[in-house]
């Protein structure tokens, strides 16, 4: 026996009327006014019994067979009176769907709770109680956490749209209720949608295609290294998330995301090629900027840029990939942006052209490039130290390399 209880007394008309939904919450899970009828039909079809206490009133449901055009239908009755729908209503529903419906109703109303104690079976003023007696439902209650998130679980990670829980599954939840199921494969984690989401009358996602973009945004912005490793590495080759394209150039990836991509790529363990593209300068930066050719720069800017790049080559060697490149605009008032993926410092050519600004002097430009070079990955300092042109150093080359490297990384 399972009892669903919530504050408020349900009106009799709401029990058997279709298309009437008067949920108290601002964002109810149920919005069509049909779910309760579907659930009652399912329980009676499976041989169970249903009773509703609305305050001190009781409503008992049963079935009454009628033959229409030589076919027998089991019409549902309320306190002995037919209410014009049969047990064939929602014939595709399974027992867990009926449980999910009644549970969702108590979430949509104030003060909801579920019990399997017989001592709770009594009318109570100011409350509605739905009592279900069914061996199917008892089994469903035992398995409820396969389609309802256990409230005792704590999320591993949170965004404004999504909660991420430990545990692989083929299901997605909305406000703790299962609303989607993969036909093949599994998600690496359990996802619970928290923002308003459009549902069908069956309480499933109306637009499941939007699910990928929600998960994608979470991955790109994620700051949890363990989650990122699981979702980006080759260690879990069959997870659903590997099929989600991360090519979203309007979304700036988190530093943790970028660092994980670089680390996995260095270890030849990066599964997501779209993650690689997102972090790549040629894909991410070039998708939104236009490079300015050196010959098109004002004379002063051209000399300043050439001098700074020459100093970098003198320090790191002529074959270094580190280079300062002028662009039309980086957007958002950004003066310069370093891309570790290709070792390029992209700089707004308008900023480069400004006069009497210490920050954009030749001396400052090459130091900015070197500092950003190191900041993205401190281990790069060793590469800089090892590649410093020995002709620029004195007799004690090893000592001077370390000293110079420490000045760069300061």
Confidence at 57, pLDDT banded by 50, 70, 90: very high
345 and 311 share one domain: yes
Res 295 pLDDT > 60:
yes
Q: Are residue 248 and residue 341 in the same domain, yes or no?
A: no
Do 181 and 77 reside in the same domain of the chain? no
Domain that holds residue 69: 2-146
Report yes or no on 287 lying in a domain: no
135 with 161, same domain: the answer is: no
Other Cβ atoms within 10 Å of 97 Cβ, number:
20
Number of domains composing the chain = 3
- Give tens-digit pLDDT for 130-160: 999 999 899 999 999 999 999 899 999 999 9
Q: In terms of domains, do 227 and 263 share one?
A: yes
Residues 238 and 339 both lie in one domain: no
More confident position, 366 or 106: 106
- For 300-339, write each residue's pLDDT tens digit: 888 888 888 888 887 777 777 788 888 887 766 778 877 7
Pair (201, 300) in one structural domain: no
The answer to which of 105-109, 115-119, 339-343, 362-366 has the lowest mean pLDDT is 339-343
267 and 309: one domain? no
Average predicted confidence (pLDDT) for the chain: 82
Q: Please, which pLDDT band fits residue 282 given cuts at 50, 70 and 90?
A: very low
Boundary residue ending a domain (146, 179, 199): 146
Q: What percent of the chain has pLDDT over 70?
A: 80
Average pLDDT value for residue range 344-358: 75
Instruction: Check whether 283 has a pLDDT greater than 80.
Output: no
Which is more confident, 227 or 251? 227
Same domain, 227 and 262: yes
In terms of domains, do 177 and 210 share one? yes
Considering the domain boundaries, does residue 329 fall inside one? yes
Within a domain: 394: yes
In a domain, 165, yes or no: yes
Distance CA 57, CA 338 (A): 71
Residue 143: its pLDDT value, please?
92
**pLDDT band at residue 397 using 50, 70 and 90 as cut-offs:** very low
Last residue of a domain, one of 245, 279, 313: 279
- Tell me if 288 is assigned to some domain: no
Residue 393's pLDDT band (cuts 50, 70, 90): very low
267 token code pair: 């270890």
Which of 146, 173, 204 is a domain's end point? 146
Q: What is the pLDDT of residue 231?
A: 96
- Residue 248 belongs to a domain: yes
284 assigned to some structural domain: no
Q: Tens of pLDDT along 218-235?
A: 999 999 999 999 999 999
- Look at residue 252 in the predicted model and tell me its pLDDT: 73
In a domain, 286, yes or no: no
**382 and 247 part of one domain:** no
Going by their DSSP bridges, the two strands 57-68 and 344-348 should be labelled as unpaired
Q: State which of 21-35, 169-183, 201-215 shows the largest mean pLDDT.
A: 169-183
Do 260 and 166 fall into the same domain? yes
Length of the chain: 410
Bridge partner residues of 291 (DSSP)? 327
């Amino acid at each position: 026996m399972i009892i669903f209880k919530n504050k408020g007394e349900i009106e009799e008309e709401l029990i058997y009327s279709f298309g009437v939904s008067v949920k108290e919450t601002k964002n109810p899970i149920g919005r069509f006014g049909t779910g309760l009828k579907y659930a009652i039909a399912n329980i009676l079809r499976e041989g169970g019994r249903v009773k509703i206490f609305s305050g001190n009133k009781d409503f008992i449901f049963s079935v009454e067979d009628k033959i229409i055009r030589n076919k027998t239908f089991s019409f549902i009755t309320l306190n002995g009176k037919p209410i014009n729908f049969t047990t064939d209503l929602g014939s595709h529903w399974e027992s867990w769907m009926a449980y999910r419906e009644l549970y969702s109703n108590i979430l949509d109303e104030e003060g909801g709770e579920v019990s399997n104690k017989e001592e709770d079976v009594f009318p109570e003023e100011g409350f509605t109680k739905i009592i279900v007696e069914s061996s199917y439902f008892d089994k469903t209650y035992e398995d409820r956490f396969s389609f309802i998130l256990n409230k005792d679980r704590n999320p591993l990670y949170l965004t404004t749209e999504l909660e991420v829980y430990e545990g692989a599954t083929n299901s997605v939840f909305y406000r703790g209720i299962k609303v989607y199921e993969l036909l093949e494969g599994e998600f690496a984690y359990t996802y619970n949608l928290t923002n308003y989401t459009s549902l069908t009358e069956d309480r499933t996602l109306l637009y499941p295609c939007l699910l990928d973009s929600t998960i994608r945004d979470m991955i790109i912005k994620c700051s949890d290294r363990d989650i990122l490793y699981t979702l980006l590495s080759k260690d879990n080759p069959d997870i659903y998330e590997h099929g989600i394209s991360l090519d979203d150039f309007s979304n700036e990836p988190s530093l943790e995301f970028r660092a994980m991509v670089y680390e996995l790529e260095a270890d030849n363990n990066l599964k997501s090629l779209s993650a690689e593209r997102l972090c790549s300068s040629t894909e991410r930066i070039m998708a939104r900027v236009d490079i300015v050719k050196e010959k098109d720069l004002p004379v002063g800017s051209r000399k300043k840029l050439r001098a700074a790049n020459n100093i970098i080559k003198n320090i790191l060697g002529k074959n270094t990939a580190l280079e300062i490149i002028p662009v039309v605009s980086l957007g958002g008032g950004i003066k310069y942006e370093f891309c570790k993926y290709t070792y390029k410092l992209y700089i707004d050519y308008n900023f480069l052209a400004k006069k009497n600004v210490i920050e954009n002097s030749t001396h400052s430009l090459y130091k900015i490039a070197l500092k950003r070079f190191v900041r993205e990955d401190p281990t790069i300092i060793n590469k800089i130290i090892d590649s410093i042109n020995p002709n620029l150093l004195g007799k004690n080359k090893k000592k001077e390399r370390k000293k110079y490297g420490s000045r760069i990384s300061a």
